[in-house]
C-alpha cells in the first residue's frame, strides 16, 4: 500500500474531495495525500500519494507543471476565474493578436506574481479564501514564481487558448488577471486543465469512478525522478535509517547540502533521500522502510 496514483480530476470538486474518493479504494487508516491543490474549476493531473509515498510529497510538488487554459478577456471575476462573480467590461477594446503575444512575453521567466485573493494560501494560519468569505479581503504579497513558456494556441476575441509551462506555486488565474490588466480590458480563466506534473501526464490518469480492483500504484521512485541519485551499500543505508551521520564523501556535484539526493541500493531498490553535510558526511532526509 505504498505508491503513487495519477488521478484525472474532474471539474467541480476540490482536491480534498478527490482524496476522500480515493480513500475508498484502500484499507482504513491508509495514509493518503495529494501533491498540489487544483481549483474546483480545474481538471487534470492530481498526483496522490499512498502510504509511505506521503513522505515524498514535497518532491512531487516541486516538479515542473504544464497547463492548458482558455482565458476570457474583456471581463473580471472575484475569483479570477469563471466560478466567481463576473463583471463584463463593455467598453473594452479588443487587442490584436500581436498585442496579446507581446504582453505575454512579460510573464515568462522569474517574475513576481500576486496570488488570487481566493486561494488556499495561509495568512496567520487561515486560508485566504476563508478570509474572503469573512469579508476581510486579505492583501497577499507578490511572490517570485518561474514560468518557462507560454504558448498562444488560438485567439478569437474574447477567448485566448494558451499552454503554460511553469514551476511550483504559479497561479494561472493570476496570469489571466494580470494579462487583462496589462491589455486594459480585464481577464479571467474560463477553463483550466493541468496536463503534466514532472513525468506524470493526464494520459496516465484514472478517474475517481474507477473500480478499486483496477487501481495499480506507481513505484515510489517516480517521486524522485528530478533528483540526482546515488547508489549506497546496504550497511550504509542501515546506518542512515538508524539516524546516524555517516562519513561518505559524495562525488561532485552531489555535495550541495540544499539538494536532496535519491538513494538506491545496488539491487536498484529505492530506499529514500539523503543530504550531504559539511566534512564529507551524509544524513538521512526521508528514509523508506520495507
Domain ranges of the chain: 3-63+199-223, 66-194, 227-287
Say whether pLDDT at 290 is over 90: no
Do the domains at 3-63+199-223 and 66-194 have one common CATH topology? yes
Q: Report the top-level CATH class of 66-194.
A: alpha beta
% of residues, the chain, pLDDT over 90: 79
- Across the range 185-208, mean pLDDT stands at 96
Residues 259-274 have a mean pLDDT of: 95
Average pLDDT over residues 189-209: 95
pLDDT at 2 over 60: yes
Mean pLDDT of 136-148: 83
Q: What is the pLDDT of residue 17?
A: 94
Q: Report angle CA 276, 282, 285 to the nearest 5 degrees.
A: 80
Whether residue 39 lies in the annotated active site: yes
Q: How far apart are CA 123 and CA 266, in angstroms?
A: 46
Place 252 in a pLDDT band, splitting at 50, 70 and 90. Answer: low
Decide yes or no: CATH 3.40.1400.10 for domain 227-287: no
Q: Residue 148 above 90 pLDDT?
A: yes
**Could you give the CA distance from residue 50 to residue 56 in angstroms, rounded to a whole number?**
10
Confidence grade of residue 131 (pLDDT, cut at 50, 70, 90):
very low
Q: What is the mean pLDDT of residues 208-236?
A: 93
Q: Of the residues 8, 17, 39, 211, which is catalytic?
A: 39
Kindly state which CATH superfamily the domain 3-63+199-223 is placed in: Pseudouridine synthase (3.30.2350.10)
Q: How confident is the model at residue 134 (pLDDT cuts 50, 70, 90)?
A: very low
Euclidean distance between CA atoms 144 and 172, whole angstroms: 14
Q: Which residues of 156-180 are buried (b: 16+ CB within 10 A; e: fewer)?
A: ebbebbbebbbeebbbbbbbbbbbb
- 187 contacts 180 by C-beta, under 8 angstroms: yes
Amino acid at each position: 500500500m505504498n505508491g503513487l496514483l495519477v488521478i484525472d480530476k474532474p471539474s467541480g470538486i476540490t482536491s480534498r474531495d478527490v482524496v476522500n474518493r480515493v480513500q475508498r479504494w484502500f484499507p482504513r487508516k491508509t495514509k493518503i495525500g495529494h501533491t498540489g491543490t487544483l481549483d474546483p474549476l480545474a481538471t487534470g493531473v492530481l498526483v496522490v500519494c499512498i502510504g509511505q509515498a506521503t513522505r515524498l510529497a514535497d518532491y512531487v510538488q516541486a516538479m515542473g507543471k504544464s497547463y492548458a487554459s482558455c482565458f476570457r478577456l474583456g471581463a473580471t471575476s472575484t475569483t479570477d476565474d469563471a466560478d466567481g462573480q463576473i463583471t463584463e467590461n463593455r467598453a473594452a477594446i479588443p487587442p490584436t493578436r500581436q498585442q496579446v503575444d507581446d504582453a505575454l512575453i512579460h510573464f515568462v521567466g522569474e517574475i513576481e506574481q500576486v496570488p488570487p485573493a481566493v486561494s488556499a494560501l495561509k495568512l496567520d494560519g487561515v486560508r485566504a479564501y476563508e478570509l474572503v468569505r469573512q469579508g476581510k479581503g486579505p492583501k497577499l504579497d507578490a511572490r517570485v514564481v518561474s514560468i518557462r513558456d507560454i504558448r498562444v494556441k488560438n485567439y478569437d476575441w474574447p477567448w485566448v487558448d494558451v499552454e503554460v509551462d511553469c514551476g511550483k506555486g504559479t497561479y494561472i488565474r493570476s496570469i489571466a488577471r494580470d494579462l487583462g490588466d496589462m491589455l486594459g480590458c480585464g481577464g479571467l480563466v474560463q477553463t483550466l486543465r493541468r496536463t503534466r506534473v514532472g513525468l506524470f501526464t493526464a494520459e496516465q490518469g484514472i478517474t475517481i469512478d474507477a473500480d478499486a480492483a483496477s487501481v495499480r500504484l506507481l513505484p515510489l521512485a517516480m517521486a524522485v525522478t528530478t533528483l540526482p541519485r546515488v547508489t549506497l551499500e546496504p550497511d550504509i543505508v542501515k546506518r542512515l535509517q538508524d539516524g546516524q551521520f555517516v562519513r561518505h564523501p559524495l562525488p561532485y556535484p552531489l555535495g550541495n547540502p540544499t539538494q536532496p539526493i535519491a538513494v538506491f541500493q545496488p539491487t536498484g531498490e529505492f530506499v529514500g533521500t539523503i543530504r550531504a553535510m559539511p566534512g564529507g558526511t551524509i544524513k538521512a532526509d526521508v528514509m523508506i522502510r520495507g
